[in-house]
Amino acid sequence: MYRLVRPLLFRMDPERAHSISLGAAEFVQRFVPSVIEPNYAFEEERLKQRLWGSTFPNPVGLAAGADKNARLVPFWESVGFGFVEVGSVSAMAADGNPKPRAFRLEEDRALLNRLGLNNEGAAAVAERLDEGKNDRTRPLGINLAKTHDPGVMGDAAREDFRESFRLLAPQAEYIVLNVSCPNTETGRTFEHPDALDDLLSTIFAEQKASGLEVPVLIKLSPPVSDRVLFDTHLEDVIAVAQAHGVHGFIASNTASDRKGVTATSQERLEDIGEGGLSGEPLAGRATCLVRYLYQATDGEIPIIGVGGVHDAASAYEKIRAGASLVQLYTALVYEGPGLVKRIKEGLVECLKADGHASIADAVGVDA
């Protein structure tokens, strides 16, 4: 079905196409939910695993960015995702950057975006999630980011994160801190070890005060290449995360450069301008970061691999590199929701071929 409507969607601005797709999915979710699951159902015992106190029926999740305001959690569950991550959500609502701000690189099967963290704000998203809390069947992650406002910096940025955590942690099986957003006038992000240390101190203090024992993960930027052997900055980030007891890593966020983009013309890239790169060109670097994190932590901290996952082979590569779970979004734009079932079926065949009894057995075998 998606392949029939994709040509029409691809004639539209990407953000408008996404909005129409979400609207159609929301209609189906609300009025005819019974037609969804039979077409996408596929679960297999060997894909199941337990992490952070939750059972993940399969390792294929929806990445943040697809459903910023948590409008479609039941729909994503019905098409077969093993878990869903919504957001990024900020403490205050934000309109984001001026349009156009999303672009397809079709020849590279990639996207560029400079959306600017547009979302309805933590209070609105928390209220929506609370209404459907008892109906959820899969683990839910919530990705938090600093409000897109240049005036929210330093201490105010940490308090911004803290307020989002306070409102949204009760709704989540895990919380993600999107630490790549600038938090100072100089553009320094929370990936700077000192800034990360301060942020994690704020978040874990709030967690302790509230009694909310929700796992906290951090989402990191991709490395500069797919052959990183040692990175002192990343080593410092890992050390800070471990010192605070961070429960997991997500590798990786979008890239600000255009490495890996080979089929799109330079003229087209210059015409688009700035934006975060996602999709297949990011695959190698994201997998490199997964492997680096797995090795640096001796496989003791779970990793979610995201960036360029577009089929079973690319998902399995990240799992073998050290990811316990994987996520996708850009590939969904190009392939539609049927991709989730195909990846799960393919993962089962990969496990059988390698003689693994469960997905957990394959994690890190190539690290």
| pLDDT, position 194 | 94
Per-residue pLDDT reduced to its tens digit, 73-111: 999 999 999 999 999 999 999 999 999 999 999 999 999
Residue-level pLDDT at 4: 85
Is pLDDT at 227 greater than 80 in this prediction? no
Q: Mean per-residue pLDDT for 334-361?
A: 98
How many structural domains does the chain have? Answer: 1
Amino acid 101: pLDDT: 96
In percent, the amount of the chain with pLDDT more than 90 equals 85
Report whether pLDDT(55) > 70.
Answer: yes
In the predicted model, what is the mean pLDDT of residues 145-167? Answer: 94
Q: Average pLDDT, stretch 222-234?
A: 79
CATH of the domain at 227: 3.20.20.70
Residue 252: cis peptide before it, omega within 30 degrees of 0: yes
Could you give the CA distance from residue 204 to residue 18 in angstroms, rounded to a whole number? 35
Question: How far is residue 265 from each of residues 104, 106, 254, 262, 271, measured CA to CA in Å?
Answer: 13, 11, 20, 8, 10
Over range 126-145, report the average pLDDT.
95
- Across the range 121-133, mean pLDDT stands at 96
Pairing of β 174-178 and β 140-144? parallel
Over the chain, what is the mean pLDDT? Answer: 94
In this predicted structure, the answer to whether residue 305 has a pLDDT above a threshold of 70 is: yes
Strand-pair partners of 84: 62, 140
pLDDT over 80 at 152, yes or no: yes
Residue 111 inside a domain? The answer is yes
pLDDT (0 to 100) of residue 186: 53
Asked if residue 164 has pLDDT above 90, the reply is yes
Whole-number percent of the chain with pLDDT over 70: 97
Q: Would you say residue 81 lies in a domain?
A: yes
Q: Examine residue 167 and state whether it is found in any structural domain, yes or no.
A: yes
User: Does residue 17 fall inside a structural domain?
Assistant: no
In a domain, 298, yes or no: yes
Query: Rounded to two decimals, what is the model's pTM?
Result: 0.96
CA dist 79 → 41, 43, 298, 331 (Å): 7, 11, 34, 15
Q: Is the pLDDT of residue 177 over 70?
A: yes
Q: Is residue 40 part of a domain?
A: yes
Lowest-pLDDT range of 24-33, 47-56, 182-191, 323-332: 182-191
Q: Is the pLDDT of residue 188 over 80?
A: no
pLDDT number for residue 33: 80
pLDDT at 187: 55
Domain that holds residue 51: 35-362
Q: Is residue 8 part of a domain?
A: no
In-domain check, residue 188: yes
pLDDT value of position 1: 72
Closest CA to 49 of 303, 363, 364, 359: 359
pLDDT at 320 over 90: yes
Q: Is the pLDDT of residue 184 over 70?
A: no
pLDDT of 183 above 60? no
* pLDDT above 80 (res 291): yes
